[in-house]
Amino acid sequence: MRQKVVLVTGANGEIGHGLIRYLAENTEANIVALDVVPLDKSLRDLCSSYIVGDILDQMLLGRLVVEHEIATIFHLASILSTKAEYNPETAHRINVEGTLNLLRLAVEQSQWQGTPVKFIYPSSIAAFGIPTLAEKMKAGPAKEDEWHHPTTMYGCNKLYCENLGHYYGAFYRQLAADCGTAETIDFRSIRFPGLISAETIPTGGTSDYGPEMLHAAAQGEPYACFVRPDTKIPFMVMPDAIKALVRLADAPRERISQIVYNVTSFSLSAQDIHDIVMKAFPEAQIDFEVDACRQKIVDTWPEEIDDSAARRDWDWQPDYDCDRAFNEYLIPAIRSRYQKVEMK
Ligand code: SER
């Protein structure tokens, strides 16, 4: 008998680390991890199997379904907003064609199993695009259906893949003879703000100045923040991001009233983060050296987002406000992490 599994793509990434640990510690799930690089050693024992491979490799995905019955997919693999601008077409292939491959795999699996495969997709504040800074300042909390003109390849990819998920969940091959009877997928997506983890440092994102400032300070390394001090966007710590993914995946289907949900915890300016970090690590050396191009990207992202739909439909509530996030999670965990490294 094939084993029923939860597939996690992009398993080695920041969210992958937190999610795999959470699922292993709190559920009975058999986790199959997929990533282009070998899975972090600390995660290997937590998974039933881990596969090194590319989501663009159709043969690999074909083999995956021969061996496993996939009940849920957390499709985390993605090229983030800064990295995507260096090679937008490659980013498009990974972010869109990769997602398309997994959506098709999920539909086929749903049809074989006669029950919808759950497809959980992290989207992003990058899906928003506010045309001018003046509009950003007076916009107020952005709702899911507002400001749909992202200016990055990553943002375009995320917005489009949310729509692809909607299509695969409700309209896939809508003119086929078996339309309406064939099983399809249960697609659910979350628009995350900038994420900050104590365990990992992000790569290739444009909200990275937040976590980078903190991790650099804790390691005693100088840091030049690449956005203006007044730049404000929403952030969330990793435990809350994992909570949101798991809560959304577990929510009864009848309570899900939309394809994409905003979630948020707290909004901070780069100056706010600087001040919090300096208080915790007074020796830190943090400057502001604005990168005009990356600044332009962050200037299109909302200062705040409205997550009332998630609160209403699946009782979303973050565990960490700003104070708790830094004082009870980030600062102590990061401090002990780098102290341990020094002692080694
Ligand atoms: N963290 C992402 C990025 O910076 C935004 O969701 O690309």
- Going by pLDDT thresholds of 50, 70 and 90, the confidence category of residue 2 is confident
Over the stretch 269-280, which tens digit does the pLDDT of each residue have? 999 999 999 999
Query: First and final CA of the chain: distance in angstroms?
Result: 45
Residue 124 CB less than 6 A away from ligand 1:
yes
User: Residue 81's pLDDT is what?
Assistant: 98
When computed from its CA atoms, the radius of gyration of the chain, rounded to whole angstroms, is 20
Average pLDDT over residues 229-257: 98
> Could you tell me the distance, in angstroms and rounded to a whole number, from the CA of residue 231 to the centre of ligand 1?
15
DSSP symbol at 125: G
Over the stretch 156-208, which tens digit does the pLDDT of each residue have? 999 999 999 999 999 999 998 877 788 899 999 999 999 999 999 999 999 99
Over the stretch 59-77, which tens digit does the pLDDT of each residue have? 999 999 889 999 999 999 9
Quote the distance between the C-alpha of residue 179 and its chain's center.
Answer: 32
pLDDT reading at 330 higher than 80: yes
For residue 13, give the nearest of 31, 40, 32 by alpha carbon: 40
Average pLDDT over residues 20-45: 97
Q: What burial letters (b/e) apply to 325-336, b meaning 16+ CB within 10 Å?
A: bbeebbbeebee
Over the stretch 114-127, which tens digit does the pLDDT of each residue have? 999 999 999 999 99
Helices then strands, counting H and E runs in the chain, come out as: 15, 12
Residue labelled with tokens 């976590």 = 211
Residue 157 CB less than 6 A away from ligand 1:
no
Minimum-distance ligand 1 atom for the alpha carbon of 158: 6
Q: Are 266 and 325 in contact (CB under 8 A)?
A: yes
Tokens of 289: 């050296």
Q: Mean pLDDT in the chain?
A: 96
Q: Are 29 and 23 in contact (CB under 8 A)?
A: yes
pLDDT reading at 343 higher than 70: no
pLDDT reading at 341 higher than 80: no
Task: Give the max Cα distance, the chain.
Answer: 68
Among protein residues, the one with the nearest Cα to ligand 1's atom 3 is 205
User: Residue 1's pLDDT is what?
Assistant: 67
24 three-class SS? helix
Give the integer Cα–Cα distance in Å for 284 and 286: 6
> Could you tell me the distance, in angstroms and rounded to a whole number, from the CA of residue 80 to the centre of ligand 1?
6
Residue labelled with tokens 């292993």 = 24
Q: What are phi and psi of 123, to 5 degrees?
A: -100, -160
User: Residue 277's pLDDT is what?
Assistant: 98
Cross-sheet strand order for the sheet of 3-9:
49-52, 31-35, 3-9, 68-75, 118-124, 186-192, 260-262
In CATH terms, the superfamily for domain 78-343 is NAD(P)-binding Rossmann-like Domain (3.40.50.720)
User: Residue 177's pLDDT is what?
Assistant: 84
Q: What percent of the chain has pLDDT over 90?
A: 94
Residue 9 CB less than 6 A away from ligand 1:
no
Say how many residues make up the chain. Answer: 344
User: Residue 3's pLDDT is what?
Assistant: 83
User: Residue 58's pLDDT is what?
Assistant: 94
Q: What burial letters (b/e) apply to 241-270, b meaning 16+ CB within 10 Å?
A: bbbbbbbbbebeeeeeeebbbbbbbbbbbb
User: Residue 180's pLDDT is what?
Assistant: 77
Residue labelled with tokens 């739909």 = 309
Residue labelled with tokens 């998920």 = 165
